[in-house]
Amino acid sequence: MRRNKLDQLLRDRASRHSTVRYSATACGIRQDAQAFSITVTSAEGQSQEERCRFVILATGARNQLSRRLGLSGNAINAPSLTTYRMRRNEPDFGLRFLFDKSLRPGYSWEFDADSDTVNIGVCALAGLPGHEIKKRSLAAAAIWPSLPNSVWRGGSIPLWSGEGVTWHSDAGLVSCGDAAGIADPLTAEGIGPALETGIWAGNCARNYVNGDGRSDLEQYSERIRQRFTTRYSQKHERSLLKLLSGTRNTGSIGQQATGAGPTMN
């Protein structure tokens, strides 16, 4: 499924049970004895206070709120650049990771965004200077036709570090998805983990507001720790990915590997 269809499907599902506000920003969270207060600002600049008993931080990779609150899982921040390009006349390819010597330690990706555009990105698995990441990104995008008004977006992808222990606050607060720092440390794939932990967070919120879910908060953090420690453990296929991307083991991100760099679909 292309990303734009998946995103809209999620919005449509959410709107059946909640109010979805477009072009609005949650500007801050404050807590008192009974509830949280969140300032929500509309695109027109109008602000209002929303009060709630439980908060799920699903703010993605760029927002630092979960880090400030200690709920980011001590993620590894991998620098990345991404943009959109025009589709070529070729069959749908879904998603490709490209491992090339020039990208190590790291990789690039290409995936269908919609019927006309492709998302292109580069992730560096080491502390490379900005000009080097930009050079890699331009080379990765050069084979695709330019798209009018397309821009490059830079940032960091919060990758699983294996060092996190807490993704909740006893006051009724949890993080999930990229905000929880659970993206795959080798491929940066985060949609699957985001959907999975989003379901867990929703169940935790339901139980909490019904008055019988305080114990679920600790179980939520433990479930994340166990699940992704197992998922990202040393396995044969992950050893191959580490070799291809230029990382040898969990404790040596950035060490160089040798060999050819294939494309993986």
User: How confident is the prediction along the chain (265 residues), in pLDDT tens digits per residue?
Assistant: 777 788 889 889 989 988 888 888 888 788 887 789 999 998 888 899 999 999 999 988 777 889 888 999 999 888 888 899 998 877 667 777 777 777 777 788 888 888 788 888 888 876 667 788 888 888 888 889 998 888 888 877 888 999 999 999 988 999 999 999 999 887 778 889 999 999 999 999 999 988 876 788 999 999 999 999 999 887 777 777 777 777 754 343 332 222 333 344 3
**How far is residue 11's CA from residue 8's CA, in Å, rounded to a whole number?**
5
Under 8 Å between Cβ of 36 and 53: yes
pTM for this entry: 0.76
Strands annotated E in 115-223:
117-124, 153-159, 168-169, 173-175
Cα–Cα nearest to 58, from 194, 189, 224: 194
Count CA atoms closer than 13 A to 229's CA, side-chain side.
11
Cα–Cα nearest to 63, from 31, 7, 32, 25: 25
> Which letter does DSSP use for residue 61 in this model?
T
